[in-house]
Structure 1
Amino acid sequence: MNFFEFVQDRWSLLWFQGYQHLSLVVQSLVIATLIAVVVAVLTYRSPLWSGLAEAGAAVGLTIPSFALFGLLIAFITSGVVLSVVALAFYGALPIVRNAVVGLRGVDPGLVESARGMGMNRFAILTRLQLPMAWPIILTGVRVSAQMLMGIAAIAAYASGPGLGSFIFSGLSRIGGANATNSAWAGILGVVVLAIVLDLVLNAVGRLTTSRGIRA
């Protein structure tokens, strides 16, 4: 059986697991973004705390994803929950750094002008600083999304959802019938989903960034 016949024969399963893969990444990415923005908001004013946050993000990225999944299995029995926890952890790391940089980069003069107009700290944050920092934050989100697409494939090791099951199944049966086809189907599926998600995030960025900032 050639590759195209393999895909055609298993199209419904590939479609379903592709949907699961994308859903896992998107849900984890939303959680990661919320966590990262909160951490950035709490730390960006302090050089010490923001430095620790950025250093922690850099160190976190060095943890091998396969090892983290293996360690979490001992504490989390649900493959779906474990996958979301691991992906949200990794996803937050690039976004934290970008969010801190974005918030720091807002012109202090604009902040002072907003205060002079009677805006409180929360209003300044939500109506001025976060919108101004959003393009930089979104860049971190897009980087994180691409990274999570690959890491999500490893979720199959912990009985998580997604296309990783095709990859692991193929690699574990190298030399057997359709082993290579299975691995390639999973890999190419992940690549296609990564491209689609990046296009969607690019469109989201255009819709959510004010024209003045885009210009």
Structure 2
Amino acid sequence: MALFADRADAGRDLAVHLDGWRDTDAVVVGIARGGVIVAAAVAAELELPLTAVAVRKLGMPGHEEVALGAIAEGVRIVDERILRRAGVDNAELAQIEKRERAVLARRQALIPAATPALQGRSVLLIDDGIATGATARAAARGIRVSKPATVILAVPVAPADWHPDETAAVDQYICAHPVDQLWAVGASYDDFTQTTDDDIARLLGTTGS
């Protein structure tokens, strides 16, 4: 049996673990795409403003679910160990990154310009789960540019032995359900339907700032 019915259900579950930020100046930031649905549920439960950060995984050719690294605006993270193991050379990586930068730009355009200010505030950075952590690290480093007071990375599910390293730009990490053997984030959900750009636009367009 899966832990969650869908991403909204996971967000409501995660909100219980984040109740200490209710009635504060915190801002909920969803990692686009899938993290935005989880974040929207958290924001609704805690009555906090919502925005998003665009991140793209650099997927291994033929096995795109395996992250070679990740990119955000002004951020590039590459796992050299996985890169060597996959046999991906610099030219191939450059082609992957070029393609994902184009998608990143489209995702960034979905985030309204008039988003809640992050400077000096607590940021609850939300994703639908963690596999390698590459996208979470890229998102946190991208958020740091806005000079928040603290960055709290919070996810519904992650490997029990995963923790942000010193390069992750995370002040606090919260996982509602650490799992000893997490083969895929989607296995924790009954419904892990791919989040669309229209979903993101709708959620960000109807949430107050």
TM-score by shorter chain over 0.5: no
What's the TM-score once normalised by structure 2's chain length?
A: 0.30
Name whichever structure is richer in helix by fraction.
1
Is the radius of gyration larger for structure 1 or structure 2?
1
TM-score (norm 1): 0.29
